[in-house]
Amino acid sequence: MKKLLVLSAFALAAFAYQDCAMCHNGGMAKKLDTMTPAQIVKDMKEFKAGKGNPMMVNIAKAMSDKEIEEAAKKYGKK
């Protein structure tokens, strides 16, 4: 059962990474386009270290540093 939950969390994280705006610009979480890419990277590294919202911790842990930087550039303040 535990393996299934872990696999489900990683699948959800991979899906969420594909469209961060789904939650963040959809009104359920802080709008990413109000944050600089550097702020997003900083926050994601904290999540990756296990600090903060458990959903975001799982998403960040499933992402590589390169993926985090790409997402920050894509969704951050222009």
pTM of the entire predicted model? 0.75
Average pLDDT, the chain: 83
Rounding to the nearest 10 degrees, give the CA dihedral for residues 9, 14, 17, 22. -70
pLDDT at 30 > cutoff 60: yes
| Per-residue pLDDT tens over the stretch 1-23 | 555 555 455 555 555 556 787 88
| Per-residue pLDDT tens over the stretch 55-73 | 899 999 999 999 999 999 9
Q: What range does the domain containing 32 cover?
A: 2-75
CA-angle at 31, arms to 23 and 65, nearest 5°? 75
pLDDT the model gives residue 18: 63
Number of domains in the chain: 1
